[in-house]
Amino acid sequence: MSKTTIYFVETKTEEQPIAVCQCVEHFYERGKRVQIVADSFLAAQRLDHLLWTFAQASFIPHRIGPSNQERGAVVEPVIITIGVIPVEGVTVLVCDGAVGLEFMERYEDVIHFVLLDDAEKRQESRSMWQVVRDKGIEVNHISYASKGRSFPSAPQ
């Protein structure tokens, strides 16, 4: 597998679901297969709904799954999983929920959100940044101020 790049994307808690959709759209339009990790079924359902409605001009084929019991290849280019379930053939990981670094390292591109309005989660992101840098994993920072551009601007 290629080297992992982790994008630390600043956002606010209430804006994170739309930021997830924008990231997914960005990579989907570039022909990448994307996995979104959600913490709960409710969060997965919310993202499922948003991916259909967040932008008038976009259509992103996706589904919730696979479960631990499913077998075979997943055909949709975007999969929302509840928790960290490996999905074969996916190269991009978008973390809507908590994801450990060991799981992140399975992917070429990873989006990790830095929640600016949650001090505890912001500190967790800072700690992760240090661990990632110490391990020599490539990191990119996308500031909240830069989100007016095509989101995210760095990944190609």
Q: How would residue 32 be classed by pLDDT, with cut points 50, 70 and 90?
A: very high
Q: How many domains does the chain have?
A: 1
pLDDT at 89 over 70: yes
Given the DSSP bridges, would you call strands 92-95 and 109-115 parallel, antiparallel or unpaired?
A: parallel
pLDDT at 74 over 80: no
Dihedral of alpha carbons 105, 48, 118, 113, sign: positive
Q: What percent of the chain has pLDDT over 70?
A: 86
- Expressed as residue numbers, the domain containing 98 is 9-146
Instruction: Give the CATH number, domain containing residue 114.
Output: 3.40.50.10110
The string of pLDDT tens digits covering residues 137-152 is: 999 999 886 655 444 4
Q: Which of 5, 1, 2, 3 is nearest to 155 (CA)?
A: 5
Mean pLDDT of 10-17: 94
pTM as predicted: 0.88
